[in-house]
Amino acid sequence: MEQKTFDVIIIGGSYSGLSAAMSLGRSLRQVLVIDSGLPCNRQTPHSHNFITQDGEKPAVISAKAKLQVELYKTVHFYNGLATKAIKNEAGFEISTESGEIFTSRKVLFATGVKDLIPQINGFAECWGISVLHCPYCHGYEVKNEKTAIIANGEIAFDFAKLISNWTKDLRLCTNGKSTLTFEQTQILQQHNVQIFEQEIDSFEHRNGYIENIIFKNQGKVAVKAIYARPPFEQHCHLPNDLGCEINEQGLLKVDAMQKTNISGIYASGDCTTQMRSVAIAVSTGSFAGAVINKDLIDEDF
């Protein structure tokens, strides 16, 4: 690619980044999308709760989206990893792993987050398939099934209340001594939520579909689905390098216009919100693209 200077560089080319690129492409902006090809839902077999695409494979949605965005000739793509970012008087300078350098007036981070998978045998293989993070994305498909939640304390209590909407056949695995209050424990027991405090050793599964949770004391419990919220970190370190604020949840802090605290830097999608879904990623990316275009217009008019 010969062109090196753009109006906007978008780092992250999944749902949110592609949606922003479409908004900007339709606004006649010169845009570069830098993407390393590692979406967090790459193992998930089907995407849900996104009208027109309900039940589709995530990779099919993103491939179709890219084909449509590529029709806008002002939008360019670079397959690779952005490794360095510098803010200067003219805007931003983005370097890639292979040594390429690109410049732009604005930068949008649509880089998502990286889940930190716990050291439980079988967890990684089941993640996104039968070990789930969101009932709005996947709860309908496992409604009324034998379901477990892996969590503890206040999070476990709130999560159990939420998931009980989709199934009453529910058990809570605290993976060690429970930190629930006495009152919380009583309420869960009144709602027939079984509580298991044993430490988890592994998951028995077939091709990612959970069958049993195996405890370290050799006990087991049969389940068809598990909900878990493992810790995560920002997938990309560049916003932090540039001084962008991170909130208490570990997400990039943005205002109602998807702007970070650093002038000229915007963020959208999973790196900014606890509501991790394709629909939300598309929405925030599309909106961020429109905001960036308006800011460019206001600067130039």
Give the mean pLDDT of 253-263.
98
106 phi-psi bin (left φ>0, alpha ψ -120 to 50, beta other): beta
Q: What per-residue confidence (pLDDT) applies to 40?
A: 67
What is the structure's pLDDT at 152?
A: 97
CATH 3.50.50.60 holds for 123-228: yes
Is 5-115+231-300 a domain of CATH 3.30.420.40?
A: no
By the 10 Å C-beta count (0-12 exposed, 13-18 middle, 19+ buried), 281 is classed as buried
Identify whether the C-beta of residue 295 lies closer than 8 Å to the C-beta of residue 255: no
Report whether pLDDT(1) > 70: no
* pLDDT, average across residues 189-211: 96
Residue 42: pLDDT above 80?
Answer: no
pLDDT at 30: 98
Task: Please list the residue range(s) of the chain that carry CATH number 3.50.50.60.
Answer: 5-115+231-300, 123-228
Q: What pTM was computed for the model?
A: 0.94
pLDDT reported for residue 44: 82
* Per-residue model confidence as pLDDT tens digits over 66-120: 999 999 999 999 999 999 999 999 999 999 999 999 999 999 999 999 999 999 9
**Rounded distance between C-alpha atoms, residue 202 and residue 119, angstroms:** 9
DSSP result, 193-245: -EEE-SPEEEEEEETTEEEEEEETTS-EEE-SEEEE---EEES-SHHHHTT--
pLDDT (tens digit per residue) in 217-237? 989 999 999 999 999 999 999
Q: Quick one: angle between helices 278-300 and 15-25, nearest 10? A: 30
Tell me which residue of 264, 279, 294, 299 sits closest to 23, measured CA to CA. 294
> Residues 144, 154, 137, 230: is their CA dihedral positive or negative?
negative
